[in-house]
Amino acid sequence: MPLHIIQRGVNLGAVFVDDDDRQHYLMLLAESARDHEIAVHAYVLMGNHVHLLASAKRAGELSEAMWQLGQNYVPFFNRRHRRTGTLWEGRFKSCLVNTDQYLLTVYRYIELNPVRAAIVQSPEHHRWSSVHANLELRVDQLVTPHETFLSMAPDPQERARTYRSWLRAGVSDEEIAAIRLHLKQGRAWGDQRFQSMVEKTLGQVAYTRPSGRPSRARVVGD
């Protein structure tokens, strides 16, 4: 099952200062993905957080890949910017995603992140995103399309046109709220049948609890 991952900077601090940081992070992400046989379906690098949509062949490999990524990126960032200490706000947050329209909605949520943050007017204008690969605008060796994404159309160009229309439709406020709540609580996002299956298979709670009062701090483009 694909996993939607978000990792934030400690105290909402920057995790990327410039393009060299971003380029190095993506290189390390590609290495971790290769070492642990991880398929990255979508990603976006923001100033103080990262979104990933990925899947693994074996249980635990995604956690291992994220640990390896952090072990390599944090010392690089600290040396380069003459700082010490932790960079990330604890362990990454994640949730399982059902492989149907829920998955495509997460694709869209991730790649529209820079638009919601008012950084760009169109997702293609943000360089550090999988949107360019998923719209067939450029080759990105990091990106592996999920089967659900490929099922939108058999032809790559037709699929790109279909996905572009899907992006332009945007993500509703209800979908945004649901995605954020499931990420925050680490619950499986999908229909009731999917959530029940996750509970039976993994032996853990898959349903969200009512959210408490919202935090005063917000991550731009979360």
pLDDT for the residue 211 = 57
* Alpha carbons 143 and 160: distance in angstroms, whole number: 14
Which of 27, 30, 40 is closest to 133 using CA atoms?
Answer: 40
pLDDT for the residue 203 = 66
Is 190 buried (19+), middle (13-18) or exposed (0-12) by CB count in 10 A? buried
> DSSP string of 118-157?
TS-SSGGG-SSBTHHHHTTSS--TTB---HHHHTT-SSHH
For the chain, list residues with pLDDT below 70.
191-192, 194-221
pLDDT for the residue 106 = 97
pLDDT for the residue 209 = 66
What separation in angstroms does the CA of 50 have from each of 9, 66, 103, 195? 9, 12, 18, 25
pLDDT for the residue 59 = 87
Which of 38, 47, 44 is closest to 16 using CA atoms?
Answer: 47
pLDDT for the residue 212 = 53
Which of 207, 206, 208 is closest to 198 using CA atoms?
Answer: 206
Q: What is the pTM of this model?
A: 0.88
pLDDT for the residue 208 = 65
Domain at 3-202: CATH architecture: 2-Layer Sandwich (3.30)
* Alpha carbons 84 and 121: distance in angstroms, whole number: 35
H or E element that contains 80:
helix 61-81
Kindly list the domain boundaries of the chain, sorted by start residue. 3-202
pLDDT for the residue 167 = 96
pLDDT for the residue 99 = 83
Which tens digit of pLDDT belongs to each residue from 169-193?
999 999 999 999 989 887 787 766 7
Find residue 42's DSSP bridge partners.
53
pLDDT for the residue 151 = 96
